[in-house]
A and B are shown apart, each in its own frame.
Chain A
Amino acid sequence: MNFIMQVENLFYKVEDKSLLGFNRIEKLILKDISFNLERGSVLGIAGESGSGKTTLAKIIAGILPQSGGKISFNISEARTKLKTSPVQILFQNNGEILNPLRTINGIVEETIYIRTGNKSGVIDEKENIFGSLNFPEELWNRKGYELSGGEQQRAALARIMATRPEILILDEPFSAQDAESQMNLLTLFKKINKDSGTTMICIAHNLKILRKLCGSVLILYRGEIVEQGNTDKILSSPQHPYTRFLLNAENYNLTYEELKTEF
């Protein structure tokens, strides 16, 4: 197996300090997380709000420091020398992230230039990226706030693709989209994975969509992995009661008593 990343016994905790620093309470956000990420694969991470999905993504991307455990990457030396990080996250709130003073064109061109340090070839590569993401030419010279939510998401994705990520993390990319846009996004992510071989991690609470995109999946419950493996297998014969709970919740088939269950 060719692993691009291995996570071993990862912990993340925060300290809840009450007034004057008495009664320090330690809270574990992630407990003993271990998994391997195969190069070129798409891994899904599912779980409810507050289960630690985004925290895990941020630690992998190096935005948050872990409290314990080890993450090792298997990324070529040439790639690590570049000025852009090999691990990138597509966040949910792209509208707030895109610089309101600059055009999408400018943002993407600059990113390519920072990565290559070379002005020639910038235009060609930019056009390629926009083309592969179906980002129409009339939007290139717009600013972030002049775009709709879906367009902003594509613009942010264009900038990320300009960094040539080795691992692309998608944080709830489908949550605010209608079914038609979800289908378009699915096709797009599959294409990126196939064409550029980018390894992907997709965070979503919607298991139906994960089944369409991800070969394997992790189920997180309160900071712990309760089940992991092949997506189809887990979703067709879930072993952990929490996975069954998530699947039933998705079909809106739970009673109030079931919704109150602790696992």
Chain B
Amino acid sequence: MLKVDINELIINNKKTLLSNIKFVLENNLVYTILGVNGTGKSTLIKSITGLLDKRFYTVAGSVFFDDRDILKMNGEDILELRRDKIKYVFQDAVNSFDHLKPFRYYFERLAKDLKQTDALLDYFLLPPKEELFRLYPYEVSGGMAQRINFVLALLAHPQIIILDEPTSGIDTAISNLFLLKLKEFARSASNAALLVTHDISFAEKVSDRIAFLNNGRLSEFLPVEEFFKAQCYTELEKFLNSYRQISA
């Protein structure tokens, strides 16, 4: 459904951050990119819909969605795509919102179904809309803002949701809610989800396919069990070893 083929991603015309990134997102699956902090995971997912600042980043390649190259779309089309088809949930959830607008603003513009709004707010243990719509982004905690972001993404009925470190800064019970909802989303219609994270246990439970990003290169997406058996990288082994030591 989404075909990513990025030959090279360069910063400031000098440093190559990512090269030879190729993968396809198929319908009804959850994909995860694992990697340590600072390997370019967030940059990679931002490049998919051309969110990187063109003054600093040069992206050579193509991203095909419904037979159209996103990287060659004009401004209007790309805004429409980001509004309706491919939604993001960023790590810095509080600052994803304009601090001078209450949540009402976002829900009224983005939600396609107000009944579903009530159900989702309840699901994510958020205040009912009468209360929530009056609040401003700076009045909620980081974890709450992240859930609100996810609810807004779901309400837009997109085909793809991309999440950046969905579990960082939120406790495990709430992460559990994320996990269940994310799977449910991916299984319905012709949807798919892509997430980047360093949380190995979350990745193991939520994903259908996992790949490892290291030194600017992305491994092949493998089914979860195979991924953890394949000892293809020493870096990956090191990463998994620390995790095993902690969970032992």
Considering only CB atoms, which chain A residue lies closest to B169 in the complex? A175
How far is B244's CA from A182's CA once the two chains are assembled, in angstroms?
12
Stretch of A26-34, A79-87, A245-253 at the chain-chain interface: A245-253
The answer to the question of B74 belonging to the interface, with a C-beta cut-off of 8 Å to chain A, is no
Q: Which residues of B contact A208 (CB under 8 A)?
A: 246-247
Q: A208-B246, A212-B246, A252-B201 are in contact. Are A178 and B173 (CB under 8 A)?
A: no
Q: Which residues of B contact A254 (CB under 8 A)?
A: 173, 176
Question: B198: which of A178, A255, A259 is its contact (CB, 8 Å)?
Answer: A178
Across the interface, do A179 and B170 meet the contact criterion of CB distance under 8 Å?
Answer: no
Q: Which residues of B contact A181 (CB under 8 A)?
A: 36-37
The answer to the question of A128 belonging to the interface, with a C-beta cut-off of 8 Å to chain B, is no
Q: Which residues of B contact A5 (CB under 8 A)?
A: none
Across the interface, do B172 and A250 meet the contact criterion of CB distance under 8 Å?
Answer: yes
The answer to the question of A64 belonging to the interface, with a C-beta cut-off of 8 Å to chain B, is no
Q: Which residues of B contact A48 (CB under 8 A)?
A: 171-174
Q: Which residues of B contact A206 (CB under 8 A)?
A: 172
Across the interface, do B201 and A251 meet the contact criterion of CB distance under 8 Å?
Answer: yes
Q: Is the interface of A mostly helix, strand, loop or mixed?
A: helix
- Which residues of A (181-238) have their CB < 8 Å from a CB of B? 181-183, 186, 205-206, 208-209, 212
The answer to the question of B13 belonging to the interface, with a C-beta cut-off of 8 Å to chain A, is no
Question: A183: which of B170, B176, B202, B242 is its contact (CB, 8 Å)?
Answer: B242
How far is B36's CA from A178's CA once the two chains are assembled, in angstroms?
6
Q: Which residues of A contact B175 (CB under 8 A)?
A: 249, 252
Closest 7 CB pairs of A and B: A178-B198, A179-B242, A179-B243, A249-B172, A252-B205, A183-B242, A205-B171
15 further A-B contacts with Cβ under 8 Å, apart from A175-B169, A246-B173, A252-B205, are: A48-B173, A48-B174, A49-B171, A176-B169, A179-B240, A179-B242, A179-B243, A181-B36, A181-B37, A246-B172, A249-B175, A252-B202, A256-B177, A259-B173, A259-B177
A residues neighboring B (CB under 8 Å): 48-49, 148-150, 175-183, 186, 205-206, 208-209, 212, 245-246, 249-252, 254-256, 259
Contacts A/B (CB < 8 Å), 24 sampled: A48-B171, A48-B172, A48-B173, A49-B141, A175-B169, A176-B169, A177-B37, A178-B36, A178-B198, A178-B242, A179-B198, A179-B239, A179-B242, A179-B243, A183-B245, A205-B171, A246-B172, A249-B171, A249-B176, A250-B201, A254-B173, A256-B177, A259-B173, A259-B176
